[in-house]
Amino acid sequence: MTDYEYIVQQVKRAHYSGWDDEELRKCVDMLPGLTREQQLSIYRSKWVAHEKALKDAIFNLLFKERIGERDREDRDKRDEEGRDNSLSSKCIENNEAAKRDKDGVEETEDRARVVRTPYRQLPSVQKDIIQFCAIPRTAKEIMDHIGYYNNSKNMTTYVRPLLEMGYLEMTEPDKPKSKNQKYRKVRKE
């Protein structure tokens, strides 16, 4: 019996009869040895819904890199004057671009300009997505990999900026809403 199967068996048993403290500690100690998918499966299970200690332990394993990330970003904003670290402003800047034609006549127009953020400055979640998409992946696979629900808000927040910055590309760019749509890492040439 694998660690995953053992934990699932104990979780189901404990749902009906309650946790023995020793078994709970043993299951929590086994959690780091599980894959991310197995941890997510247990975390989302209806059997764990009321077991706070186990749920908190899994949450900390899954999201420890994201805990306190907002505080670090705020601190970085204060440290670096004039630089905005928010994801949306890194990816797209709305500005009034002044253009001069050959005669020197000035034209202004509202344009959205895509700004390519250097790879090292991307959030760790987006770096993870880029590496994961070395093989073409569906939106569902990407969201499962990073531990978020597959919905349009998460796609807009995490995947679309990578498409606009040129880190990812669609396998079917002519049909962005195709059920067979996959995303892959852009190869440097």
Alpha helices, DSSP H, located in 18-138: 21-30, 36-44, 52-63, 69-79, 87-91, 124-132
86 inside domain: no
| Within a domain: 179 | yes
Is 102 a domain residue? no
Q: What confidence score (pLDDT) does residue 140 get?
A: 93
The backbone torsions φ and ψ at residue 128, rounded to the nearest 5 degrees and listed phi first, read: -60, -40
Range of the domain at 145: 119-185
Span 50-82, pLDDT tens digits: 777 777 787 777 776 555 565 666 666 666 644
Contact by Cβ (8 Å): 71, 77: no
175 within a domain of the structure (yes/no): yes
Q: How many domains does the chain have?
A: 2
Let me know if residue 81 belongs to a domain.
no
Domain edge (last residue) among 40, 63, 86:
63
- Residue finishing a domain among 33, 48, 63: 63
Any domain includes 173: yes
Q: Read off the pLDDT of residues 173-182 as tens digits, 9 standing for 90 and up.
A: 999 889 999 9
Residue 21 lies in a domain: yes
Report the CATH number that the domain containing residue 140 is assigned in CATH: 1.10.10
Interatomic CA distance for residues 34 and 62, integer angstroms: 11
Distances (CA, A) of 111 to 97, 107, 161, 164, 166: 7, 12, 17, 15, 18
Q: Could you give the 3-state DSSP secondary structure of residue 181?
A: coil
Question: Is 112 a domain residue?
Answer: no
pLDDT lower than 70: segments of the chain: 64-114, 189
End-to-end Cα, the chain, rounded Å: 47
Report the pLDDT value the prediction gives residue 139, as an integer from 0 to 100.
Answer: 92
Q: Which residues contact 35 (CB under 8 A, 6 or more apart)?
A: none
